[in-house]
């Protein structure tokens, strides 16, 4: 190997490593704030599980198909200029039956948990659920607690800071005051479209206390990137205390518990 070729190889290897570092730095292996692979609630966990139920078989199929393809390309390549054409084959009943039946079985198996979750995640929240009315606005989130009132007797109303009790379902009705937004709490569940003139529904349940970084997930104008909110899951007592205080949030809309 010439020195020049060695250098090219080294450069290519270095480029590969640097590229991989950039690529994988976007992957959150751990419990980072918006990592949907680290769910903190029942809905987010179900959604993550469904993803894997589809992804692992798909990955196995991809490796199998590309494996056979690459093997065939190499094994049956043309070895010399004057090689005669290979034997021409038409149809193979056994293979065709197999690659029809196996996908049918696989899809049927995947359909069971998928349909079960579609029904479960789309159902009405339970009777003891907390009800929150969400209004998406350019560019902030308005949360109204119709069953919780402040000192004046008006429903508690806050912006960009959602407080919810841990271990209890929260049922949201979601509306828009202007354009289409998307309501998303990556570690708790979602997302759901926020559409003018339409009321959408979603429920979630937080498993443990935390401050869950959440956001609008649909481009909705110049302020879209700032349309974030905090979902603060706390004990029932802390939640009641927060309600009793009229749902006070810090002036920035980011609670002291935010740590940001
Ligand atoms: Cu609201 Cu993007």
User: From the CA of 118, how far away is ligand 1's center (Å)?
Assistant: 25
At 1, the pLDDT band (50, 70, 90 cuts) reads: low
**Average pLDDT estimate for 113-122:** 94
**Model confidence pLDDT, tens digit, residues 144-161:** 999 998 888 889 999 999
Distance CA 260, CA 255 (A): 9
**Separation of alpha carbons 114 and 49, rounded Å:** 10
pTM: 0.79
Give yes or no for residue 181 CB within 6 A of ligand 1: yes
| Cα 190 to ligand 1 centroid, rounded to whole Å | 15
CA of residue 140 to ligand 1 center, whole Å: 8
- HSE-CB at 112 with a 13 A cutoff on CA atoms is 5
In the sheet that holds 170-176, the strands lie side by side as: 155-159, 140-149, 130-137, 170-176, 200-204
- Three-class SS state of 120: helix
- Closest by alpha carbon to 158, among 246, 244, 224, 36? 246
Q: In whole angstroms, what is the distance from residue 233 CA to residue 44 CA?
A: 14
- Ligand 1 within 6 A of CB of 66: no
Distance CA 171, CA 125 (A): 5
Question: Can you tell me the distance from the alpha carbon of 177 to that of 138, in angstroms, rounded to the nearest whole number?
Answer: 8
Residue 107 has which token pair? 């899809």
* pLDDT per residue as tens digits for the range 3-42: 888 899 999 999 999 998 888 776 666 667 888 888 999 9
Angstrom distance (rounded) from CA 112 to CA 95: 26
Is any ligand 1 atom within 6 A of the Cβ of residue 191? Answer: no
Picking from 214, 164, 186, 230, the residue whose alpha carbon sits closest to that of residue 40 is 186
How many A from CA of 11 to the centre of ligand 1? 43
181 Cα–ligand 1 center, Å? 4
Contacts of 83 (CB under 8 A, 6+ apart): none
Which atom of ligand 1 approaches the CA of 136 most closely? 1
Q: What is the pLDDT of residues 223-240, one digit of tens each?
A: 999 999 999 999 999 999
Supply the residue whose CA is at minimum distance from atom 1 of ligand 1.
181
- Check residue 108 and give its pLDDT: 95
């Amino acid at each position: 190997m010439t020195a020049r070729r060695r250098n090219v190889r080294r450069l290519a290897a270095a480029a590969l490593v640097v590229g991989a570092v950039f690529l994988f730095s976007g992957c959150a292996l751990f419990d980072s704030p918006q990592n949907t692979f680290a769910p903190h609630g029942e809905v987010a966990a179900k959604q993550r599980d469904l993803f894997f139920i589809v992804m692992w078989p798909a990955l196995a199929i991809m490796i199998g198909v590309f494996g056979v393809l690459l093997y065939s390309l190499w094994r049956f390549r043309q070895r010399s200029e004057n090689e005669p054409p290979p034997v021409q084959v038409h149809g193979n009943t056994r293979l065709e039956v197999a690659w029809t039946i196996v996908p049918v079985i696989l899809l049927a198996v995947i359909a069971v948990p998928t349909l079960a979750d579609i029904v479960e995640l789309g159902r009405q929240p339970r009777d003891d659920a907390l009800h929150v009315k969400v209004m998406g606005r350019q560019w902030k989130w308005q949360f109204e607690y119709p069953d919780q009132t402040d000192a004046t007797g008006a429903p508690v109303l806050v912006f960009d800071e959602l407080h919810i009790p841990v271990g209890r379902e929260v049922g949201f009705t979601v509306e828009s005051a202007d354009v289409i937004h998307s309501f998303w709490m990556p570690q708790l569940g979602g997302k759901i479209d926020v559409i003018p003139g339409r009321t959408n529904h979603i429920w979630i349940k937080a498993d443990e206390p935390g401050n869950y970084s959440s956001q609008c997930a649909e481009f909705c104008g110049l302020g879209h990137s700032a349309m974030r909110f905090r979902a603060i899951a706390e004990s029932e007592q802390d939640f009641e205390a927060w309600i009793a205080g009229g749902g006070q949030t810090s002036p920035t809309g980011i609670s002291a518990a935010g740590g940001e």
